[in-house]
Structure 1
């Protein structure tokens, strides 16, 4: 019976180790899924960003035309609106750039090569970064729609 015990004990220990590794793999996969859920929510909005940038560029061009034909008071208002349109257009460009930058820097292939703790830290960092991208995309889209709707 004592001969059997070391075999059972080693089986239990190796099973616990395997389950521990499996749960680490699950944690990593879950964390990666969270990161890509945010990415997948934001990525389709990049089309909206591009369309809004085009509309803003057209509006900026129309402000230039109004300025040529307008009075001093109208010119002041046109200059203010143009400045706002340029700033919002820059915010949209930044949001797009951040998304492209995040996608080019994400290294999902290396996750399997990293120790579990390091992989989870990397994914936490990536989740923070893509959440920041999401905030900037959503905010700039909202500002652009509001601006284009008010004019």
Structure 2
């Protein structure tokens, strides 16, 4: 009876360890899926960034041409508007660069080489980074849309 108890306890212990490993791997996979859900939400917006940059570039060119034909007062307003358009364009460039940097530095291949705890720490940091990218992408697009919509 004692041997049977030890065998059962041993099997339960092994299954608990295996379940714990599988649970850790499942948690890592779920967390990685969360990270990529954010990425997949943001990635299509890169096209919007490119379109907005092009529209802002065209607006800046128009402002340059208006400046040469307008009064001194109009030139000051044109300079201010051009500065705003340039700033918005730079914000779009930064948001695009952050996305490209995140994608080039994400290293999901190493997740299998890390312990579950280390993999989760890595993914938590990645989730924070891609969430920050999402915020910057969305904000830069929204600001550019507002600017271009009122012109």
**TM-score of Structure 1 vs Structure 2, range by shorter chain:** over 0.9
Superposition TM-score, scaled by structure 2 size: 0.99
1:98 aligns with 2:124: no
Q: Which residue of 2 aligns with 1:89?
A: 89
| CA distance, structure 1, for counterparts of residue 40 and residue 77 of structure 2 | 39
Q: Which residue of 2 aligns with 1:113?
A: 113
| CA distance, structure 1, for counterparts of residue 127 and residue 109 of structure 2 | 16
Q: Deviations over 1:23-48 (max 9, x none)?
A: 10111011101100000000000000
* Cα shift at 1:5: 1.6
- Look up the SS of the partner of 2:2 in the other structure: coil
Q: Which residue of 2 aligns with 1:4?
A: 4
| CA distance, structure 1, for counterparts of residue 131 and residue 2 of structure 2 | 56
| CA distance, structure 2, for counterparts of residue 3 and residue 33 of structure 1 | 44
Superposition TM-score, scaled by structure 1 size: 0.99
Q: Deviations over 1:105-129 (max 9, x none)?
A: 0000000100111100000000000
| CA distance, structure 2, for counterparts of residue 129 and residue 56 of structure 1 | 27
| CA distance, structure 2, for counterparts of residue 77 and residue 118 of structure 1 | 54
Structure 1 stretches of at least 4 aligned residues deviating more than 6 Å after TM superposition: none
Matches within 5 A, 1:31-42: 31-42=31-42
- What RMSD over aligned residues (CA atoms) do the two structures have, in Å? 0.6
Q: Which residue of 1 aligns with 2:59?
A: 59
* Cα shift at 1:104: 0.2
How many residue pairs get aligned? The number is 151
Q: Which residue of 2 aligns with 1:79?
A: 79
Gaps of 5+ in 1: none
